[in-house]
């Protein structure tokens, strides 16, 4: 019996992994994200501004930046380390 693939490069799920990868591998998004490293809630602030300013709601792979399954704490930690 095989177990389902649960390896998302250390992230909790595919959605969180995909959002994190989009924010760190897409150079314009990465540059924008760097401005949020000192925010109290970096990911939530970044997400709101991306939606409001650029109508950016999903990654190119279809991961929703507003999905309830996203690990917000992990995304905050990732952004603080940029």
Tell me: pLDDT of 42 over 60.
yes
Domain span at 28 = 14-80
Tell me: pLDDT of 54 over 80.
yes
26 falls within a domain: yes
Q: What are the tens digits of pLDDT across the range 62-75?
A: 999 999 999 999 99
According to the model, what pLDDT value does residue 57 have?
Answer: 97
pTM of this prediction?
0.89
Tally of domains within the chain:
1
1 falls within a domain: no
Tell me: pLDDT of 4 over 70.
no
Tell me: pLDDT of 1 over 90.
no
17-20 CB contacts, 8 Å cutoff, 24+ apart: 18/59, 18/61, 18/63, 19/59, 19/63, 19/65, 19/70, 19/75, 20/74, 20/75, 20/78
């Amino acid at each position: 019996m095989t177990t389902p693939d649960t390896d998302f490069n250390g992230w909790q799920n595919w959605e969180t992994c995909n959002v994190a990868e989009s924010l760190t591998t897409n150079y314009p998004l990465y540059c924008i994200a760097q401005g949020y490293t000192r925010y109290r809630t970096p990911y939530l602030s970044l997400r709101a501004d991306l939606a409001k300013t650029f109508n950016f709601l999903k990654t190119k792979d279809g991961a929703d930046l507003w999905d309830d399954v996203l690990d917000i704490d992990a995304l905050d930690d990732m952004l603080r380390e940029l």
